[in-house]
Amino acid sequence: MSVLLKRQATLDHVVPRTRGGLDAADNVAVACRTCNSSKQDLIFPSEWIPNRDSFTYIKSSEPLPHLTNISRMARRITRLVAQLDPREDPPSVAKVCADHHWRPRAVHLALAEMHQRGAFCVFAYPCAPATRHFQPITDPHNAFAGGTWVGGWE
């Protein structure tokens, strides 16, 4: 809350009204005016997140379910997730790419692929700074699989 006190709060439409988004509670989140303005008509968190490499995190998990016909990078991420220590802070895409010499765009595409296939759910927060957390889902029948939850300030 202290971050918001120094900024002017606005309601951000996750899916902008110009792209069919509604004024419904599940489509709005509290965001500062700066973030809301810079987002324009992009969809958060799939299309817009400032400095996405530094503020997209991959959490650890038990081994992910076996996915067939996935990209090579998605297989690499599957192995990485199993090796991460759950007691440590999750690494950002920027750190993972620096450590493994991977291309950020390839990692983001693989994360999106795995999210669509239900191997991850995404928890996203719109600003101060905007973040995304890819949480692995080990059970493909889990209600969270492939879902995206957007939260404002608590």
d(CA 98, CA 96): 6
Q: What pLDDT, on the 0 to 100 scale, is given for residue 5?
A: 55
The verdict on residue 128 lying in a domain is yes
Q: What is the pTM of this model?
A: 0.82
Count of domains forming the chain: 1
The verdict on residue 79 lying in a domain is yes
In the chain, % of residues over pLDDT 90: 46
Predicted confidence (pLDDT) per residue in 103-112, tens digit: 999 999 999 9
The verdict on residue 3 lying in a domain is no
Per DSSP bridges, beta strands 148-150 and 120-125 are parallel
The verdict on residue 24 lying in a domain is no
- Closest Cα to residue 116, out of 81, 94, 90, 140? 140
The verdict on residue 56 lying in a domain is yes
The verdict on residue 30 lying in a domain is no
The verdict on residue 38 lying in a domain is no
